[in-house]
Amino acid sequence: MNYYEHVPPAGGKITINPKALESLLSKQLQYHGSLYPVSSVIRTRKFIERGWKINAGQYLKMMLQISELDLTNPVVLEEQLTGVDTWYFAALVTSLREADPEKVNATYIGAIIDRIF
């Protein structure tokens, strides 16, 4: 939520959101919504490995957004996995595209995930 704008020729401008600065200083993740909530959940691993914390409420906000998605649809799933663990997830999406759509459900996808990871 903080960002840098390049403004030629003089340089740039840094915009700092007070809540985001507070999160940076406390290393506490806050979720404010995203077009890619699945990627957001997966990215939290990197932050946790670096000493950040996230409370259950923030995860719940991500889950609520995810519950509105049809992740059995390979197009939706591929879009949601943009930018995270690309090779593994590309293999998952390829497997789903080749599968009989009548068989694709959470259990079927889980079995593919277990084979890939």
- Mark whether 58 and 20 lie in a shared domain: yes
Q: Given pLDDT bands bounded at 50, 70 and 90, which one contains residue 83? A: confident
Same domain, yes or no, for 18 and 41? yes
Q: Which pLDDT tens digit goes with each residue over 11-32?
A: 788 899 999 899 999 999 999 9
Query: Which amino acid would we find at residue 32?
Result: H
Residues 44 and 100 in one domain: no
* pLDDT of res. 38: 95
Question: Is 38:69 a contact under the CB 8 Å cutoff?
Answer: yes
Tell me: do 60 and 78 sit in the same domain.
no
What's the pLDDT at 111? Answer: 95
Do 33 and 84 reside in the same domain of the chain?
A: no
Ramachandran quadrant class, 58 (left: phi over 0; alpha: psi -120 to 50; beta: rest): alpha
Q: pTM of this prediction?
A: 0.78
